Amino acid sequence: MSRVLIPIEATWYHELKAVGYYRESYLEREIQQHVNSLFPDFYVFPFKASVTSRTTGQTNKPDLAMVRRDFRAWGVIEVELSEHDVRHVLEQTRCFADGNYNAPEIAEYVNRQMFRHCGINVKINRLRKLIGSELPTVLVIADADEADWQEQLRAAGIDLCIFQIFKSAHGTHIYRAHGDYPVVPAKVAQCRRHPSLPNMLEIIGNFEFKKLPRHNQIDIVFNSTLTRWAVVTDEKKNRYLQFIGKANPLSPNATYCLFSDSGHKYYFKIN
């Protein structure tokens, strides 16, 4: 059983699924209450339209949908309890991944849902162009890690993220989120390994760090792992990232890009 201690409160929070029972609809409501924090670059809203697979003819309904705030991409979300069989999850999400999305019909539905739940009135033509131009990404949000889920979903082109709920004896909640949460890059730069110094990456091009602390150390997420780096500038004004810690998860044989999101959080991604 997982639990989290908040020292400033001297309070333990226990994983809700270990101390109580809840339905999938409860998990979905909890996610909807915190979508602005979970998906700051997206409009997220309930999406219960039927989607028919172009391959099998099977029909299923997602739980939520998300539209990037710049309207360059969209996706559908399936909320699942981790106690479910992964075969059931794959059956549903494969339907969404190759679904037949009738752009005029879905655009009308998305317009109504975004107005009702996000308070925004989007032009139908803009939504029709977005939905008709590309299939949505498919994201599964589960309430706990399951060892066999990520590998099988990733092989099917489905993203997986975890949203865990913890509850104190006083009835207050805290949340833990990790996994393949969609991130919209605000700034991007290439990085290359220093030719002679280990655990050192050179930042290629102009990349500005917002609110850089006095000690010049920053946290960068890589594959859901939080890593710490020192920002170093040499006499030629070249900027480097020097790993701080014992085990650097970045391979010296791979190349990476560094990017930040709209909330000034930093990420590594393999090129």
What does the pLDDT read at residue 173?
93
Share of the chain above pLDDT 90, in %: 65
Q: Are 42 and 69 in contact (CB under 8 A)?
A: yes
Helix (H, G, I), strand (E, B) or coil at 244: strand
Q: By C-alpha distance, which of 180, 181, 177, 182 is closest to 151? A: 180
What does the pLDDT read at residue 19?
73
Query: Which pLDDT band, with edges at 50, 70 and 90, does 178 fall under?
Result: confident
Q: Are 9 and 18 in contact (CB under 8 A)?
A: no
Assigned token pair, 191: 């990085």
Average pLDDT over residues 46-63: 94
Q: Are 88 and 152 in contact (CB under 8 A)?
A: no
Average pLDDT over residues 134-146: 91
Other Cβ atoms within 10 Å of 215 Cβ, number? 8
What is the residue type of 25? S
Fold of 3-179: Trna Endonuclease; Chain: A, domain 1 (3.40.1350)
Query: Which pLDDT band, with edges at 50, 70 and 90, does 134 fall under?
Result: confident
Assigned token pair, 90: 């794959």
Query: Domain segments of the chain: what residues?
Result: 3-179, 187-270
Average pLDDT over residues 66-75: 95
Instruction: Indicate the helix (H) or strand (E) that contains 104.
Output: helix 103-118
* pTM of this structure: 0.82
Assigned token pair, 120: 């925004």
What does the pLDDT read at residue 212?
81
- Sign of the Cα pseudo-torsion (176, 180, 186, 187, in order): positive
